[in-house]
Amino acid sequence: MNRSAGILLPISSLPSKYGIGNFGKSAYEFVDWLKEAGQSYWQILPLVPTSYGDSPYQSFSTYAGNPYFIDLDALVEEGVLTQEEVDASDFGDKADTIDYEKLYKERYPLLRKAYERSNISQNEEYSRYMQKNGWWLTDYALFMAVKARFNGVAWTEWAEDIKLRYGYAMEYYRTELYYDIEFHQYLQFTFYKQWMKLKEYANENGVLIIGDIPIYVAMDSADTWAHPEMFQLDKDNVPLAVAGCPPDGFSATGQLWGNPLYRWDYHEQTGYDWWMKRLSYCFKMYDVVRIDHFRGFDEYFSIPYGAETAINGHWEKGPGMKLFNKMREVLEHRDVVAEDLGYMTDTVRKLVYDSGFPNMKVLEFAFDSRDTGSASDYLPHNYTENCVAYTGTHDNETIIGWLDCITKEEKTMARDYLCDYRTAQKNLHWPMIALIMRSRANLSMVPMQDYLGLDNKARLNQPSTVGKNWKWRVTKEQLSEELKLQIRKLTKMYGRINWQWDDKLDA
């Protein structure tokens, strides 16, 4: 990575008249806005379908795309939906938030109509897509169709024959649910076609996409159901232990994620084949991949299945560099960002160093009055070039929200570091952004909420909570010309401008 800058904004948070951000006109306009603001990167969150809690980190598949992101206007243009049908749907009336319940009730019936009118089985492009992606999509489509047949319950609660994938049961449901299966295949084909068109447009305009890959898959996913041998499950496919992280600044009882843990010995025996396929697919979807919870490859936190908190968990050894050496052998050089936040040890630091991947620095972690011993790692004057500097991430408070919540002592620490005692707190996000911009970090990333100076009402996620996350959206009015030019000025001042377009835009 050369010295550059980018903005973190999930697809779901884009402006849209259809209740959630999608691959429609607003997404293309945002690419133009990024280009004109001198940005080189657009960081998004996982594009996968969301399950309980609406989190993109708990999905029914590590490969599938979220049907909510399909552009309905494009389906109207194709003639498989009418504008009247789309306009008659109630996706919610708030431009700055997402109503997932209304989306679920309204979006899928529309998409089903589009499928039934598509004559998709006669589409040669669809046939080619299925030939290339059937290795994961046939399991996923069957999984989703069977899940609907069992009223949406987790696959661990299905009838035993299909839960354990007996041959006769698989054949029965493939026949019985043929059109439901094809519907989900149609959704993935449509999603993929629209996403790759948007990504191509971004790349043509000098904007690279940073995607996000969770280290774990969900227990209630096609991945776990189709490949139980890869995970720490018993003979009845019940987890022996689950994933999470120990108590930390986010939670006094730790975080109990509940994801199944990998059988790393099995993966090593197979030459990490599943991981190579997963990573290869991600690099087709994104230009750069941020690997979430990178420290889990050094050591992972194992929590007894059935525990109510993460307090009684313990650390186990992960695959370490063996996985990434295989990645270099199979995939050669790829651009990866290692999310190494949280509890750090010397062995984690060594893994990050040995991998050569840039790691993450979060400014909010730099001013901790508890003197945790790691705060200085996040002070911008200590950054190396091989890192990505953030004001905060999707899991953090906004900068303004954070300033409202930290102690008086921590505010003084931040003010002292900035040498700034006059700027009103409501405007202090600009000096904080300037800190990471002027650092040595090759890439600086700023969440859109921080550029807008929004408080915690715009926070995207609060770890260890359910029901209030992943809802915030930016409005068209907030993506103003004034803000774009201000970001551009700051980006150019600190030598991070996208030089590919700079002269043309200033001409």
- pLDDT tens digits, 147-177: 999 999 999 999 999 999 999 999 999 999 9
Structural domain of 483: 4-63+196-506
Question: Is 124 within the bounds of a domain?
Answer: no
Question: Is 155 within the bounds of a domain?
Answer: no
Question: Is 119 within the bounds of a domain?
Answer: no
Residue 245, pLDDT score: 87
pLDDT tens digit sequence for 299-311 = 999 999 999 999 9
Question: Is 358 within the bounds of a domain?
Answer: yes
Question: Is 77 within the bounds of a domain?
Answer: no
pLDDT tens digit sequence for 37-46 = 999 999 999 9
Please name which of 118, 116, 119, 138 lies closest in space to residue 129, comparing C-alpha atoms: 138
The CA-based dihedral angle spanning residues 39, 45, 49, 55, taken in that order and rounded to the nearest 10 degrees = -140
Give kind and range of the element (H or E) at residue 289: strand 288-291
Structure tokens at 148: 């609907």
The residue length of the chain stands at 507
Q: Are strands 41-43 and 288-291 parallel, antiparallel or unpaired?
A: unpaired
Question: Is 129 within the bounds of a domain?
Answer: no
pLDDT per residue, tens digit, the chain (507 aa), is: 899 999 999 999 999 999 999 999 999 999 999 999 999 999 999 999 998 889 999 999 999 999 999 999 999 999 999 999 999 999 998 999 999 999 999 999 999 999 999 999 999 999 999 999 999 999 999 999 999 999 999 999 999 999 999 999 999 999 999 999 999 999 999 999 999 999 999 999 999 999 999 999 999 999 999 999 999 999 999 999 999 988 876 678 888 999 999 999 999 999 999 999 999 999 999 999 999 999 999 999 999 999 999 999 999 999 999 999 999 999 989 999 999 987 788 999 999 999 999 999 999 999 987 765 566 889 999 999 999 999 999 999 999 999 999 999 999 999 999 999 999 999 999 999 999 999 999 999 999 999 999 999 999 999 878 888 999 999 999 999 999 999 999 999 999 999 876 666 655
Name the residues annotated as catalytic.
292, 339, 395
- Residue 503 CA to residue 483 CA, distance in Å, equals 20
DSSP 128-174: HHHHHHHHHHHHHHHHHHHHHHTTT--GGGS-HHHHTT-HHHHHHHH
- Residue 408 CA to residue 388 CA, distance in Å, equals 28
Which strands form 314-317's sheet, in the order they lie side by side? 255-260, 241-245, 299-304, 314-317
Neighbours of 484 (CB within 10 A): 19
- Residue 207 CA to residue 205 CA, distance in Å, equals 6
- Residue 42 CA to residue 445 CA, distance in Å, equals 9
Residue 504, pLDDT score: 61
CATH assignment of the domain containing 216: 3.20.20.80
| Number of domains present in the structure of the chain | 1
Question: Is 131 within the bounds of a domain?
Answer: no
Question: Is 377 within the bounds of a domain?
Answer: yes
Question: pTM of the entire structure?
Answer: 0.96
Q: How far is CA 248 from CA 2, 14, 341, 401, in A?
A: 33, 32, 11, 19
